[in-house]
Amino acid sequence: MNGNNPSQKAVWLAIILLASVVGAVAAGVLFQMAGAAGPAVVGASGAAFMGTASLGLAAHRFMTE
């Protein structure tokens, strides 16, 4: 996978961030269904987004270098 082209980098960034948003929404829904308080739901969603985005960007960097 050659992701050195700037347009390819933008597409991969969009894919990774979109997947992170989907993961954050899923985590938020699961916490809400479990009956967690509002701040806990927001915290879990944020943590899921940051974790998934960090992992995705690190994996992309590893695969392209």
What pLDDT does 9 receive?
86
Q: Could you state, in chain order, the average pLDDT of each consecutive group of 10 residues for the chain (65 residues)?
A: 73 94 96 95 96 95 87
What pLDDT does 8 receive?
85
- Classify burial at 1, counting beta carbons within 10 Å of its beta carbon; exposed 0-12, middle 13-18, buried 19 or more: exposed
Q: Is the dihedral of CA 6, 9, 10, 11 positive or negative?
A: positive
What pLDDT does 1 receive?
55
What pLDDT does 46 receive?
97
What pLDDT does 7 receive?
79
What pLDDT does 33 receive?
96
> 35's torsion region: left (phi>0), alpha (psi -120 to 50) or beta?
left
| CA distance linking residue 18 with residue 37, whole number of Å | 25
